[in-house]
Each structure stands twice: as structure tokens, then as C-alpha cells.
Amino acid sequence: MSASVRLEAGDTAPAFTLNDQDDKPVSLADYAGQKVIVYFYPAASTPGCTKEACDFRDNINSLKSAGYQVLGVSKDKTDALRKFQKEQGLNFPLLSDPDLAVHNAYGAYGEKSMYGKTVTGTIRSTFVVDETEAIQLPLYNVKATGHVASLRKKLGLDASTPDA
């Protein structure tokens, strides 16, 4: 089944509360009045997801200085997220959505093409939510490699200088 929802710029971001890697609840509402990058990835500790997460980690200071918070969402259980965060030194919350309710609300789960086959799973997606909880930038089927540089460019941030 394909993703039934496709969020567009200007849509209200679906509200959510999910447990983070430390089993603490995190809500989108916790970030009211701030800009938030919510990104969905298929699985912790896999090569592409590790590359993408480390890319966000390496750019977190410049994203935060531009006013953006980062939240990673996957269907992984919190213990897998805790291990992933610790192994990779990730410096932003990883949220567990095992029943896929938030994935589905954002249209980040459904049919996708993988190695030439159609499979059902997490669609690697990123959503920039503005201070009013509206979707500023919906990005579906993003590539793990180079995604943060591409995102920075779309947001008008200088993509040439990742944090040291």
C-alpha cells in the first residue's frame, strides 16, 4: 500500500508525542515557537541511516545557530535508538514510532522502490516545520548521502562549511 498522505508546504504538521532513546516523551509541541527538522529514516545502525544521522550530527551546531532543532524518527525500539545514539555520538533526540502512527501521519511509510523491487517500508523523508507548526519544506524519498548539504542549501544556509 502506498503512502496515503502527502504533506505539502503550508500544511499543519501532524502533532505527535513519542518516546526518545531514553524513554522520555518528546512532543512536537515541546518545540512550539521554534523551527524543527523532523526526519524519518528506515533503521538505526544501518549504513545509509548512520551516514545520514552523522551528517545531521556534524551540522547540528550550524543548524541550531540558524534556529533549527533536529528530531530523528524511526520504527526502532528505544534500546536500539539508545545504542545507535551512543555508538555514533548523536547529539539530537531519536524518537521511536514502532506502531508507525507518526510515519503514516507524515506519509513517510508505504511503497518504495529498493534495488529495482517495490517494497513497503519507511520512505526516507524530511520535514522542516516552522515556528507556527506549519510544514515549511516537505521532502520525500531523500538520499542519505549529501542530504544535509542539500537541505542546508534549500534553507538558504551556507552548505560549504560543516561544523568542525
Could you read off the pLDDT of 37-72 as tens digits, one per residue? 999 999 999 999 999 999 999 999 999 999 999 999
What pLDDT does 38 receive? 98
Q: For the full predicted model, state whether its pTM sits above 0.85.
A: yes
Where in the sequence numbering do the catalytic residues fall? 49
125-129, strands of its sheet edge to edge? 25-27, 17-20, 94-96, 68-74, 35-40, 125-129, 135-139
Q: Which three cell numbers stand for residue 139?
A: 521532502
What pLDDT does 162 receive? 52
Rg (CA), the chain: 15
Whether 70 and 58 have beta carbons less than 8 Å apart is answered as no
Count each helix (H run) and each strand (E run) in the chain, helices first.
4, 9
What pLDDT does 114 receive? 76
Which residue ranges of the chain lie beneath pLDDT 50? 1-3, 159, 163-164
